[in-house]
Structure 1
Protein backbone atom coordinates (compact mmCIF):
# COMPACT_ATOMS: atom_id res chain seq x y z
CA UNK A 1 0.00 0.00 0.00
CA UNK A 2 1.34 3.42 -0.91
CA UNK A 3 0.54 6.62 0.78
CA UNK A 4 1.70 9.92 -0.49
CA UNK A 5 2.19 12.92 1.68
CA UNK A 6 3.47 16.21 0.47
CA UNK A 7 6.93 15.66 1.96
CA UNK A 8 7.56 11.88 1.77
CA UNK A 9 6.47 8.64 0.12
CA UNK A 10 6.14 5.54 2.35
CA UNK A 11 5.48 1.92 1.44
CA UNK A 12 3.88 -0.30 4.10
CA UNK A 13 3.74 -4.09 3.87
CA UNK A 14 0.30 -5.56 3.12
CA UNK A 15 -1.28 -7.69 5.87
CA UNK A 16 -3.42 -10.74 5.16
CA UNK A 17 -6.72 -10.87 6.95
CA UNK A 18 -9.04 -13.86 7.47
CA UNK A 19 -11.21 -12.59 4.66
CA UNK A 20 -8.27 -12.77 2.26
CA UNK A 21 -7.64 -16.47 3.13
CA UNK A 22 -11.00 -17.43 1.70
CA UNK A 23 -10.44 -15.94 -1.69
CA UNK A 24 -11.11 -18.28 -4.63
CA UNK A 25 -7.37 -18.64 -5.25
CA UNK A 26 -6.70 -19.78 -1.67
CA UNK A 27 -9.66 -22.17 -1.77
CA UNK A 28 -8.52 -23.63 -5.08
CA UNK A 29 -5.01 -24.28 -3.76
CA UNK A 30 -6.37 -26.01 -0.62
CA UNK A 31 -8.90 -28.08 -2.58
CA UNK A 32 -6.35 -29.12 -5.17
CA UNK A 33 -4.14 -30.55 -2.40
CA UNK A 34 -7.07 -32.30 -0.67
CA UNK A 35 -8.62 -33.90 -3.78
CA UNK A 36 -5.89 -36.52 -4.37
CA UNK A 37 -6.06 -37.55 -0.71
CA UNK A 38 -9.86 -37.79 -0.76
CA UNK A 39 -9.76 -39.78 -4.00
CA UNK A 40 -7.21 -42.22 -2.59
CA UNK A 41 -9.26 -42.66 0.59
CA UNK A 42 -12.43 -43.26 -1.43
CA UNK A 43 -10.65 -45.83 -3.61
CA UNK A 44 -9.32 -47.66 -0.53
CA UNK A 45 -12.76 -47.72 1.13
CA UNK A 46 -14.40 -49.00 -2.04
CA UNK A 47 -11.84 -51.80 -2.33
CA UNK A 48 -12.28 -52.73 1.34
CA UNK A 49 -16.07 -52.80 1.01
CA UNK A 50 -15.74 -55.08 -2.03
CA UNK A 51 -13.53 -57.49 -0.09
CA UNK A 52 -15.90 -57.55 2.87
CA UNK A 53 -18.91 -58.24 0.68
CA UNK A 54 -17.13 -60.89 -1.39
CA UNK A 55 -15.70 -62.68 1.64
CA UNK A 56 -18.76 -62.56 3.87
CA UNK A 57 -21.11 -65.52 3.88
CA UNK A 58 -24.68 -64.59 3.17
CA UNK A 59 -27.44 -66.20 5.13
CA UNK A 60 -29.92 -65.32 2.40
CA UNK A 61 -27.82 -66.68 -0.46
CA UNK A 62 -28.39 -70.36 0.25
CA UNK A 63 -26.91 -73.26 -1.65
CA UNK A 64 -26.10 -73.24 -5.32
CA UNK A 65 -27.85 -76.58 -5.83
CA UNK A 66 -30.71 -78.19 -3.97
CA UNK A 67 -33.18 -76.37 -1.79
CA UNK A 68 -34.08 -76.01 1.86
CA UNK A 69 -37.36 -74.33 2.63
CA UNK A 70 -38.27 -72.15 5.60
CA UNK A 71 -38.93 -74.27 8.69
CA UNK A 72 -36.61 -77.07 7.57
CA UNK A 73 -33.28 -78.52 8.61
CA UNK A 74 -31.48 -79.89 5.54
CA UNK A 75 -28.40 -82.09 5.72
CA UNK A 76 -26.35 -83.07 2.65
CA UNK A 77 -24.03 -86.07 2.39
CA UNK A 78 -21.29 -84.04 0.67
CA UNK A 79 -19.77 -80.60 1.05
CA UNK A 80 -21.12 -77.65 -0.93
CA UNK A 81 -24.74 -78.88 -0.56
CA UNK A 82 -24.22 -81.90 -2.84
CA UNK A 83 -25.13 -85.54 -2.59
CA UNK A 84 -28.16 -87.05 -0.88
CA UNK A 85 -30.23 -84.54 1.09
CA UNK A 86 -32.21 -85.29 4.26
CA UNK A 87 -34.92 -82.81 5.30
CA UNK A 88 -36.41 -82.52 8.78
CA UNK A 89 -39.22 -80.36 10.18
CA UNK A 90 -40.24 -79.59 13.77
CA UNK A 91 -43.51 -81.50 13.28
CA UNK A 92 -41.52 -84.71 12.67
CA UNK A 93 -38.70 -84.39 15.22
CA UNK A 94 -38.96 -84.26 19.01
CA UNK A 95 -37.30 -81.19 20.56
CA UNK A 96 -34.05 -81.79 22.49
CA UNK A 97 -33.90 -85.46 21.49
CA UNK A 98 -31.00 -87.14 19.73
CA UNK A 99 -31.91 -87.93 16.12
CA UNK A 100 -29.48 -90.25 14.35
CA UNK A 101 -29.18 -90.07 10.59
CA UNK A 102 -30.52 -93.23 8.90
CA UNK A 103 -28.18 -96.22 8.51
CA UNK A 104 -24.56 -95.27 7.99
CA UNK A 105 -25.49 -91.88 6.52
CA UNK A 106 -23.34 -88.87 7.36
CA UNK A 107 -23.75 -85.17 6.62
CA UNK A 108 -21.00 -82.84 5.46
CA UNK A 109 -23.04 -79.65 4.78
CA UNK A 110 -26.23 -78.20 6.21
CA UNK A 111 -28.84 -75.47 6.11
CA UNK A 112 -30.71 -74.65 9.30
CA UNK A 113 -33.90 -72.80 8.35
CA UNK A 114 -35.65 -73.69 11.60
CA UNK A 115 -36.32 -70.93 14.08
CA UNK A 116 -34.25 -72.87 16.63
CA UNK A 117 -30.61 -73.78 17.16
CA UNK A 118 -29.42 -77.22 16.03
CA UNK A 119 -26.43 -79.16 17.31
CA UNK A 120 -24.70 -81.60 14.95
CA UNK A 121 -22.79 -84.50 16.50
CA UNK A 122 -20.00 -86.65 15.16
CA UNK A 123 -21.32 -89.44 17.37
CA UNK A 124 -24.49 -91.26 16.31
CA UNK A 125 -25.62 -91.22 19.97
CA UNK A 126 -25.10 -87.43 20.41
CA UNK A 127 -22.20 -88.13 22.76
CA UNK A 128 -20.37 -84.99 23.78
CA UNK A 129 -17.09 -86.90 24.02
CA UNK A 130 -16.81 -86.65 20.21
CA UNK A 131 -17.02 -83.48 18.09
CA UNK A 132 -20.21 -81.40 18.13
CA UNK A 133 -21.22 -77.92 16.99
CA UNK A 134 -24.35 -75.81 17.51
CA UNK A 135 -25.68 -73.67 14.66
CA UNK A 136 -28.24 -70.86 15.10
CA UNK A 137 -31.61 -71.05 13.38
CA UNK A 138 -33.34 -68.81 10.83
CA UNK A 139 -30.95 -69.16 7.93
CA UNK A 140 -27.59 -70.70 8.77
CA UNK A 141 -25.86 -72.16 5.70
CA UNK A 142 -22.74 -74.30 6.27
CA UNK A 143 -21.17 -75.47 2.99
CA UNK A 144 -18.61 -77.67 4.76
CA UNK A 145 -19.04 -78.94 8.31
CA UNK A 146 -15.78 -79.48 10.22
CA UNK A 147 -16.48 -83.25 10.60
CA UNK A 148 -18.84 -86.00 9.41
CA UNK A 149 -22.12 -85.51 11.30
CA UNK A 150 -24.09 -88.60 12.27
CA UNK A 151 -26.82 -87.15 14.54
CA UNK A 152 -28.43 -83.89 15.63
CA UNK A 153 -30.58 -82.23 18.29
CA UNK A 154 -33.00 -79.37 17.82
CA UNK A 155 -33.07 -77.09 20.86
CA UNK A 156 -36.01 -75.18 22.32
CA UNK A 157 -34.08 -71.86 22.04
Structure 2
Protein backbone atom coordinates (compact mmCIF):
# COMPACT_ATOMS: atom_id res chain seq x y z
CA UNK A 1 0.00 0.00 0.00
CA UNK A 2 2.84 2.36 0.91
CA UNK A 3 4.48 1.77 -2.51
CA UNK A 4 1.22 2.64 -4.31
CA UNK A 5 0.89 5.91 -2.35
CA UNK A 6 4.54 6.78 -2.94
CA UNK A 7 4.19 6.07 -6.66
CA UNK A 8 1.02 8.15 -6.87
CA UNK A 9 2.65 11.06 -5.03
CA UNK A 10 5.79 10.84 -7.20
CA UNK A 11 3.67 10.77 -10.36
CA UNK A 12 1.66 13.80 -9.21
CA UNK A 13 4.81 15.76 -8.33
CA UNK A 14 6.44 14.85 -11.65
CA UNK A 15 3.31 15.89 -13.58
CA UNK A 16 3.15 19.18 -11.67
CA UNK A 17 6.83 19.90 -12.33
CA UNK A 18 6.41 19.08 -16.02
CA UNK A 19 3.36 21.35 -16.26
CA UNK A 20 5.30 24.17 -14.60
CA UNK A 21 8.08 23.84 -17.19
CA UNK A 22 5.69 23.60 -20.15
CA UNK A 23 3.50 26.50 -19.01
CA UNK A 24 6.22 29.03 -18.25
CA UNK A 25 5.56 32.43 -19.87
CA UNK A 26 8.28 31.90 -22.48
CA UNK A 27 6.75 28.61 -23.60
CA UNK A 28 3.13 29.74 -23.30
CA UNK A 29 3.77 32.75 -25.57
CA UNK A 30 5.37 30.58 -28.23
CA UNK A 31 2.45 28.15 -28.26
CA UNK A 32 -0.36 30.67 -28.79
CA UNK A 33 -0.54 33.26 -31.58
CA UNK A 34 -0.75 36.89 -30.54
CA UNK A 35 -4.05 38.73 -30.37
CA UNK A 36 -4.46 40.15 -33.85
CA UNK A 37 -7.15 42.75 -33.24
CA UNK A 38 -9.59 41.62 -35.87
CA UNK A 39 -7.48 39.72 -38.40
CA UNK A 40 -9.88 36.92 -39.23
CA UNK A 41 -9.65 33.64 -41.11
CA UNK A 42 -9.09 34.11 -44.84
CA UNK A 43 -7.42 37.50 -44.38
CA UNK A 44 -3.96 38.94 -44.87
CA UNK A 45 -3.32 41.73 -42.38
CA UNK A 46 -0.38 44.11 -42.55
CA UNK A 47 0.40 46.58 -39.77
CA UNK A 48 2.31 49.82 -40.26
CA UNK A 49 4.53 49.23 -37.23
CA UNK A 50 6.30 46.25 -35.68
CA UNK A 51 4.47 44.27 -33.01
CA UNK A 52 1.11 44.41 -34.84
CA UNK A 53 0.73 48.13 -34.07
CA UNK A 54 -0.22 51.20 -36.06
CA UNK A 55 -2.56 51.39 -39.02
CA UNK A 56 -3.67 48.01 -40.37
CA UNK A 57 -4.38 47.07 -43.99
CA UNK A 58 -6.62 44.01 -44.36
CA UNK A 59 -7.07 42.04 -47.58
CA UNK A 60 -9.51 39.18 -48.20
CA UNK A 61 -9.06 36.53 -50.87
CA UNK A 62 -12.31 37.62 -52.51
CA UNK A 63 -10.90 41.14 -53.05
CA UNK A 64 -7.51 40.34 -54.60
CA UNK A 65 -6.23 38.66 -57.75
CA UNK A 66 -4.35 35.45 -57.00
CA UNK A 67 -0.71 35.49 -58.20
CA UNK A 68 -0.89 39.21 -59.03
CA UNK A 69 1.13 41.95 -57.40
CA UNK A 70 -0.90 44.02 -54.94
CA UNK A 71 0.76 47.21 -53.73
CA UNK A 72 -0.14 48.79 -50.43
CA UNK A 73 -1.88 52.16 -50.73
CA UNK A 74 0.29 55.03 -52.01
CA UNK A 75 3.12 55.71 -49.57
CA UNK A 76 2.02 52.84 -47.32
CA UNK A 77 4.25 50.18 -45.89
CA UNK A 78 4.12 47.54 -43.18
CA UNK A 79 6.51 46.18 -40.58
CA UNK A 80 4.42 43.25 -39.26
CA UNK A 81 1.91 40.86 -40.77
CA UNK A 82 -0.45 37.96 -40.24
CA UNK A 83 -1.20 35.53 -43.06
CA UNK A 84 -4.50 33.78 -42.38
CA UNK A 85 -5.42 33.27 -46.06
CA UNK A 86 -4.75 29.54 -46.17
CA UNK A 87 -2.39 30.21 -49.09
CA UNK A 88 1.30 31.16 -49.29
CA UNK A 89 1.93 34.90 -49.46
CA UNK A 90 5.12 36.57 -50.66
CA UNK A 91 5.76 40.07 -49.33
CA UNK A 92 8.12 42.45 -51.11
CA UNK A 93 10.21 45.44 -50.17
CA UNK A 94 9.50 46.74 -53.66
CA UNK A 95 6.13 48.32 -54.41
CA UNK A 96 6.13 46.47 -57.77
CA UNK A 97 6.93 42.98 -56.39
CA UNK A 98 10.39 43.20 -57.93
CA UNK A 99 12.75 40.49 -56.82
CA UNK A 100 15.70 42.88 -56.92
CA UNK A 101 14.78 43.99 -53.38
CA UNK A 102 14.09 41.84 -50.33
CA UNK A 103 11.17 39.39 -50.31
CA UNK A 104 9.94 36.48 -48.18
CA UNK A 105 7.20 33.90 -48.58
CA UNK A 106 5.03 33.04 -45.58
CA UNK A 107 3.02 29.80 -45.46
CA UNK A 108 -0.76 30.06 -45.40
CA UNK A 109 -1.28 27.85 -42.39
CA UNK A 110 -1.51 30.85 -40.07
CA UNK A 111 1.72 32.82 -39.96
CA UNK A 112 2.38 35.71 -37.60
CA UNK A 113 5.42 37.90 -38.22
CA UNK A 114 5.68 40.59 -35.54
CA UNK A 115 8.70 42.22 -37.19
CA UNK A 116 9.61 42.11 -40.86
CA UNK A 117 13.32 42.50 -41.70
CA UNK A 118 12.33 45.25 -44.18
CA UNK A 119 9.40 47.54 -44.94
CA UNK A 120 6.76 45.63 -46.90
CA UNK A 121 5.28 47.60 -49.79
CA UNK A 122 3.55 44.90 -51.88
CA UNK A 123 2.52 41.24 -51.83
CA UNK A 124 1.36 38.28 -53.93
CA UNK A 125 -1.00 35.54 -52.80
CA UNK A 126 -0.25 32.19 -54.44
CA UNK A 127 -2.38 29.19 -55.30
CA UNK A 128 -2.02 26.51 -52.64
What is the TM-score normalised by the length of structure 2? Answer: 0.78
Partner of 2:97: 126
Moved over 4 A (4+): 29-32, 34-40
Aligned length: 127
| Structure 2 runs not aligned, ≥5 long | none
Partner of 2:69: 98
Aligned match for 2:20, one of 22, 47, 52: 47
Larger RCO (CA under 8 A, 6+ residues apart): 2
CA distance in 1, matches of 2:98, 2:81: 20
Partner of 2:80: 109
CA RMSD of aligned residues (A): 2.6
Q: Rg bigger for which structure? A: 1
What is the TM-score normalised by the length of structure 1? Answer: 0.66
Deviations 1:91-113 (CA, angstroms, capped at 9, x unpaired): 22111111121222110111222
